[in-house]
Amino acid sequence: MTPDRFQDAKRIYNSALEREPAQREAYLAEACAGDESLKQEVESLLGCHTEAQEFFKAPAVEAGGKAQASESPIDFTGRTVSHYAIVEKIGEGGMGVVYKARDTHLDRFVALKVLPPEKVADPERKRRFVQEAKAASALNHPNIVTIHDIDTADGVTFIAMEFVKGRTLDRLIRGKGIVLNETLKHGVQIADALAAAHAAGIIHRDIKPANIIVTDTGLVKVLDFGLAKLTDPAESIEAGTRRSTGQKTEEGVILGTVAYMSPEQAEGKNVDARSDIFSFGSVLYEMTTGRRAFSGETNASTLAAVLREDPKPVSQVALDTPPELERVINRCLRKDPGRRFQHMADLKVPLEELKEELDSGTRTADAPPATRRRRRTAWAAGAFLLAAALGLGAWFGLLRRPPAGPAARVGTFTGFPGTETQPAFSPDGKQLAFVWNGPKQDNDDIYVQLVDEATPRRLTSDPALDFNPVWSPDALRIAFLRDTPAGTEVMVVPAAGGTERRLLVSPVRPFSMTDKQFCGLAWSPDGKFLAIVDKESEQASPSIFLLDVETRAKRRLTTPASEFWDGASAFSPDGRSLAFQRGRASLPPSDIYVLPLSASGQPLGEPQQITHDNSWIHARADATARRAPRDRARRRRT
């Protein structure tokens, strides 16, 4: 439906609402003038309005939002609950009243969220209140409010949490939006908090500006996991359904704030982490433009907008919005969860990159930037440069300065709609393998294109995400990785197209927050083996293994200490050494190590550390390499 046609439908819909239900059929027949598809669209909106009215009359909602307006909760100011002396009331929400209180045991101020006694009788409300504390207390993250205590004393159920002095994001926005660099700064922190929660199996379900506090120093804190729903982290988004854990939201009962709900949440369906991604997109839209992505005169009309309407393009509201930021927002706000970012860590990367450009002065905050492609996966923010360079086998010669070569020529190989990433040249330089999310921009697959042609050939079409293509030395095969519910699959496919082979399923997941290791692939020079990143157990450190491409047998090459990980490996041209990256349990800093190998691929001694300055390798075609230091604070190459 075109924007003009939707406006026609919306106009007729609003006029129909002003009439009695019995009069609407005749009005629609006249207003739509025989346009049956237009009439059906308006009827669909009216049906949504009716469902929403019934929803907002439901007891579950009356116990929350409506009751807040009509009831007068007991004021606990001046009282002492357990060992918390309540100083003043600082807020009130659907899950309770928040007070500033002093912890008399530790002599510190806390925020005390109290469930008023008149609401304790509601078992579901109390269960969700307790669930908030248990869910949030399991998280230890600088951008998530810290939970100190949960208890019931003197008939009062409460949560004692970190007292954060600052302003909520809705007060900062105030209908004007926030300057670009602040939007990115806040957005990265919110995304980081949600990524950590999702990695722990926790969905927030109520992300909105009022639940986000910004301190005077710019630190962001995500508040109120009162609607949090625990999920099994082992279950994937792609599974489509979630196993019940006894805390499942009853089908048809809608929790959360309507203007920031995802469509699936608004319909009362089961939700996963992608619902938070939609809500985050709504918050990002509002920070950028100063207006809500979805709004209406009533809750029902707002709900209809969430389900049916696309927000006004960001660049038409805030004219200087960078295209990269607008693409991130648009993808977050897609109605179909399968077409959004699938992991919060994925969308954090382009936000970080844009912020770094502004911080470094390579881009100004008030000028429209030139469009350029963005890396899309969390591990690819820097890891790709290393993995692609190391994939050339050019680790040696690292410390010597190479002679000046011919001037670089810059040209465009691809220019398709969507995003093309992770390019890999064939050994003869005549073909380019890369990842593209396709003409519909709905799924990452592997494509191959001749350098002097403009039409790519699609190699994979699995609904899972495919990434990291690597050519075999004879250019006949391409190895790649596939992100599936079972784990990361190591795959091989003929470069000319044909049947795929699955060699291995690894528990090391490149898109998770708990496994941030770089899951690179590297062919041995004889084409018999692949160096892969794998684990011997779920608790073990990610290590480098040698995988026989024919027999699928594997053997371990590296043994990092428990607090370290190994990844992103590459063979030397003669196959007698393996370079790889080793770092601690979180992302950079990390350094390059080299492991000597026997002719049969057996390790000869311990790996030797050859960089001590958090360097990336930039390879040259003559098998020499330069070392580039990497800015630790900003996590970018300098």
Q: Determine the Cα–Cα distance for residues 79 and 115; give it in Å rounded to an integer.
A: 15
Report helix, strand or coil for 190. helix
Length of the chain: 638
Q: Which residues pair with 221 in a beta bridge?
A: 213
Burial of 498 (0-12, 13-18, 19+ CB in 10 A): exposed
**β-strands 212-215, 220-222 pairing:** antiparallel
Instruction: For residues 495 and 434, give the distance between their C-alpha atoms in angstroms, rounded to a whole number.
Output: 12
**Coil/strand/helix, residue 56:** helix
* Per-residue buried b or exposed e for 29-50, using 16+ beta carbons within 10 Å of the residue's own CB: eebbeeeeebbebbbebbebbe
Q: How far is CA 358 from the centre of its chain?
A: 22
Determine if the peptide bond prior to 589 is cis (ω within 30°).
Answer: yes
Tokens 């008399």 belong to residue: 104
Distances (CA, A) of 278 to 190, 194, 275, 465: 13, 12, 5, 20
User: Would you tell me how many other CB atoms lie within 10 Å of the CB of residue 210?
Assistant: 16
Q: Which of 212, 208, 443 lies closest to 341, judged by CA?
A: 443
Q: What angle do CA 295, 53, 278 make, to 5 degrees?
A: 40
End-to-end Cα spacing for the chain? 47
Whole-angstrom distance, CA of residue 160 vs CA of residue 191: 25
Nearest partner of 274 among 227, 337, 231, judged by Cα: 337
Write down the residue that tokens 């209140």 correspond to.
Answer: 129
Contact (Cβ atoms closer than 8 angstroms) between residue 375 and residue 211: no
Q: Which H/E stretch holds residue 137?
A: helix 123-137
Gap between the Cα atoms of 151 and 82, Å rounded: 9
Residue 167 backbone phi and psi in degrees, to 5? -120, 145
CA gap 266, 352 in Å, rounded: 30
Q: Which residues are catalytic?
A: 206
